[in-house]
Homo-oligomer: A and B are copies of this chain.
Amino acid sequence: MYSRASRRLIPVFTKPFQSKSYEGLLKRVTMASSQPKRPKVVTVDNMNPHVRTMEYAVRGPIVARATEIEKELAAGQKKPFPDVVKCNIGDAHALGQQPITFIRQVIALATYPELLNSDQFPEDAKKRARRVIGGCKGGSVGSYSDSVGIEPIRQDIAAFIERRDGHPSNPNEIMLCAGASEGIRSLLKCMVSGEGKNRSGVMIPIPQYPLYSASLAEFGCEQIGYYMDEATGWSLGKPELKRSITEARKHCNPVAIVVINPGNPTGQVLSLDNIKDIIQFAYEEKLFIIADEVYQENIYAKGAKFHSFKKVLREMGPEYQTMELASFYSTSKGFMGECGLRGGYQEAINIDPDVFAMLKKLISAKLCPTVLGQIAMECTVNPPTQGEPSYDQFIKEKKIVLDALAEKAKLVAETFDAVEGVSCNEVMGAMYAFPRIHLPKKAIEKAKSIGMQPDAFYCMQFLEEKGVCVVAGSGFCQVEGTYHFRMTILPSVEKIKDVMQRFREFHSKFMEEYKD
């Protein structure tokens, strides 16, 4: 079950995928060249092999097909469904979630400071805009910030972490980034090295978020999967961590462990004890801890609580206090859902000062993260407080979003779990359900015969027949021989009910068609 092969991500399509628009592109290019064909300088055969092999399922071929179907529908083609519902990506606003007014007001004010004279804006939003503009060179959001971000914003992030954890945070250990993804990629990039058996390895959970598999493949680094146990609600035990690293040491040099909490795509929320175990394990095995905590506001399960890795580490024994730990947060998730603004930060503690200097040098070649994204991060970590004019509205808007997500988390997981041939763990947190589908042998064989992963085949059929776009479990890695898909819980309650109805119809027809 835990074969070496399963450590590597299996592409969704084992044969090359050709979308229709892609064929169109090919045709156009060919037509343009009436000349005798001059061979291309850069081809898939001589390009960067790491880029060639990387996969990023969340935006892969199924999603490309969904976009095509949307265009077909718009062009008047008849389909057995009225619309495409894109449940492939945690993109809240795309599915109707309303932005938090305070965030948008501060950005508008900072972008167009003429508005500071308008009575259409509350005083706290204006005050905040003045604070961030004051941190911008020349008083303009159009100037480059320091590569690590705007100083007052880094101070406010540190204050937020201190309030959250009850432990000090140092603004000099905080770097803004354009969404958490960019920060994670820079950090990984900075640490990986070596060839052959000395090649750096990074432990990642299986199932995982494909940013990790894609980036590790791109950087030529070894992906070391550790499996979470689906049977016990995606729990994680030290024996599996130990098994994973022991095997990995035979062929690479493990340097870091990634933990996603709350989990993506699995939705589990780690317990305090689980986190302690992981820190202890990382201590014993000399690993850098990368804590992906972008869903820290998204906790729905009764009794579940978010514990930051840093807080837990700070409350463990003195021997742990110099461990290297980086934690990531983002404006894209939580109650904000501001994906398009590309705001994020990392806090990195105990990092070797020379390495930290190198990391800063690395990001400096990208100049700076978007200033307006930094402002979105500022408003997220430093929202209006009681007594301020924007407070009531902020709390109300935040509650609407989080209450609805909690309701949908329950609805989706329970509905899936009640369907025959499907099992689904509780969605304790984050924004996704990750149901397991027990596919009949005939469906598996059919998929393989056309060069597709069985769950990708299932998802593509679901899309073609019902217009619902989800991501196959093979894009996230999974225990070999098991099949899943990831579906976001972001559409409105009404829409989710519609999607669940479409699912039930599709699933029973599919199972009937391919029954053994």
CB contacts (< 8 Å) of A120 on chain B: these are 114-115, 118
Inter-chain contact A352/B44, CB cutoff 8 Å: yes
Taking a contact as CB atoms under 8 Å apart, the answer to whether A93 and B140 are in contact is yes
A439: Cβ under 8 A from any B Cβ: no
- Across the interface, do A340 and B370 meet the contact criterion of CB distance under 8 Å? yes
At the interface, yes or no: A166 with Cβ under 8 Å from chain B?
A: no
User: Cβ of B370 and Cβ of A54 under 8 Å apart?
Assistant: no
A41 cross-chain contacts in B, Cβ below 8 A? 255-256, 286-288, 324
Docked pose: A362 CA to B427 CA in angstroms: 30
**Residue A365 interfacial (CB < 8 Å):** yes
CB-defined contacts of A43 to chain B, threshold 8 Å? 352, 354-355
A35 contacts B321, C-beta separation under 8 Å: yes
**Known A111-B107, A112-B107, A120-B114: A52·B94 in contact at CB below 8 Å:** no
B104–A365 touching, CB < 8 Å: no
A190 CA to B48 CA, complexed, in Å: 5
- Candidates B89, B170, B364, B372; contact of A59 at CB < 8 Å: B364
Contact B365 A56 (CB under 8 A): yes
Chain B residues with CB under 8 Å of A211's CB are 365
Say whether B352 contacts A48, CB under 8 Å.
no
State which of B32, B339, B342 has its C-beta within 8 Å of the C-beta of A322.
Answer: B32
Using known A-B contacts A144-B339, A365-B211, A371-B341, determine if residue A137 contacts B93 with beta carbons closer than 8 Å: yes
Cβ-defined partner of A367 (8 Å) among B104, B144, B339:
B339
Task: Select one of B111, B138, B355 contacting A95, CB under 8 A.
Answer: B138
Q: For A368, what are the chain B residues with a Cβ–Cβ distance below 8 Å?
A: 339-340, 342
B-contacting residues of A (Cβ < 8 Å)?
21-22, 25-26, 28-29, 32-35, 37-44, 46-49, 51-52, 54-56, 58-60, 67, 89, 91-97, 99, 104-105, 107-109, 111-112, 114-115, 118, 120, 136-138, 140-147, 170, 172, 178-179, 181-182, 185, 189-194, 210-211, 214-215, 218, 255-256, 286-288, 318-319, 321-324, 336-342, 350-359, 361-362, 364-373
17 intermolecular pairs with C-beta atoms under 8 Å apart: A29-B350, A35-B322, A40-B324, A42-B190, A46-B194, A59-B367, A60-B361, A91-B143, A94-B144, A114-B120, A115-B120, A144-B339, A178-B370, A341-B372, A342-B367, A342-B368, A370-B370
